[in-house]
Amino acid sequence: MTHPTPAISARGLRKRYGSTRALDGVDLTVPPGTVLGLLGPNGAGKTTVVRTLATLLRPDAGHALVAGYDVVAQADLVRTRIGLTGQYASVDELLTGRENLVMFSRLYGFGPREAADRAEALLERFDLVGAADRRADGYSGGMRRRLDLAVSLVQGPAVLFLDEPTTGLDPRSRLQVWDSVRALAASGTTVLLTTQYMEEADRLADSVAVLDRGRVIAEGTPDSLKTRAGGDRVDVIVRDPADLEAAAELLRSAVPGAVGVHRREQRVSVPAGDRMAVLTAVVRALDGSGLRVEDVGVRRPSLDEVFLALTGEPAADRSGGGSGNPAASDNTLRKEYR
């Protein structure tokens, strides 16, 4: 089978703000109908990538095609094929949910009746019917994000950009957004989402690109990245530090793989390729061993651990620090936009 035309392909994207390089040669390829998670700490350049691909910023160098069109030379055509949900819910705060959806439908080129129908359908789909005629500035964070997502779907985009879609949301709203993203991907929409959470990328993305200081430093499936970061682990936390060695010995005999002992956290840790099998084996071994255990659980590597594995340094202080990328922080971007 030949490769289908990618929904997003970027080559050598560069963008400078003063002396800082927000993007330092970004390459990305996203096949149609898939979800790419763009993972990175604050200031890595995630938002700059999204704004460039969504025709909001002009790259200094490199080029990118979205839905087959060039984001600079054919920005107008790109705009007929994309939807964007920003990190900050960008709906009109003084308008009601319904008025927002009707206005954006009209601006996408639908007639008044069609716009009203689309608004109604989206209000239902995103569970906003009850709040449809209230002003958006009175919405909760979760409702606002749902309205934002609904607006970005008005034209049925081929490519959807979600810039940190769940940042600041409570767990329930986060799950709702995740469900929506999954449903969209299942219906064939290509999604590029940025996130700081390994878990989010893991749950939603077919593939993940890790961004650091304006460059993609790793690409692959969530599983392959986790493997590079040591993969999933089962952790056992003992109540008495004196039991650490005994617990480690017990685990060594119960499951394959190198057992890590973390004295300060009173934690013993084993790799868990097959999460449930390893967890079961560990619990069985502990049961009746007489060891007093505080906690047992499966843990996924965090973004920090992925970063540590990939770069040899922690993910922190990418924004603001001397070696970081202060210009790529969102405040600066917003100023730049003005």
Positions in the binding site for other proteins (CB under 8 A): 5-6, 9, 51, 54-58, 63, 65, 67-70, 73-74, 76-77, 79-84, 86, 88-95, 99, 103-104, 106-111, 114, 135, 151, 155, 336-338
CB 326 within 8 A of CB 43: yes
**CB nearer other proteins, residue 136 or residue 270:** 136
Q: How far is the CB of 154 from other proteins (least distance, A)?
A: 9
Paired residues of 70 in beta bridges: 65
Strands 35-39 and 190-195: parallel
The rounded distance, in Å, linking the Cα atoms of 248 and 246 is 5
The rounded distance, in Å, linking the Cα atoms of 227 and 83 is 33
CB 177 within 8 A of CB 149: yes
Two tokens, residue 323: 């070696």
**CB nearer other proteins, residue 12 or residue 326:** 12
Strands 293-299 and 35-39: unpaired
The rounded distance, in Å, linking the Cα atoms of 307 and 292 is 33
The rounded distance, in Å, linking the Cα atoms of 200 and 135 is 30
Q: How far is the CB of 268 from other proteins (least distance, A)?
A: 48
Q: How far is the CB of 117 from other proteins (least distance, A)?
A: 12
Q: How far is the CB of 251 from other proteins (least distance, A)?
A: 51
**CB nearer other proteins, residue 114 or residue 294:** 114
Two tokens, residue 104: 């954006």
Q: How far is the CB of 74 from other proteins (least distance, A)?
A: 5
**CB nearer other proteins, residue 88 or residue 178:** 88
Q: How far is the CB of 1 from other proteins (least distance, A)?
A: 16
**CB nearer other proteins, residue 108 or residue 307:** 108
The rounded distance, in Å, linking the Cα atoms of 95 and 98 is 8
Cβ contacts of 44 within 8 Å, gap of 6 or more: 211, 212, 213, 214, 318, 325, 328
**CB nearer other proteins, residue 14 or residue 106:** 106
Q: How far is the CB of 115 from other proteins (least distance, A)?
A: 9
Q: How far is the CB of 102 from other proteins (least distance, A)?
A: 9
Instruction: Report CA-CA distances (Å) from 67 to 52, 119, 148, 149.
Output: 14, 25, 22, 20
CB 65 within 8 A of CB 233: no
**CB nearer other proteins, residue 156 or residue 273:** 156
**CB nearer other proteins, residue 54 or residue 268:** 54
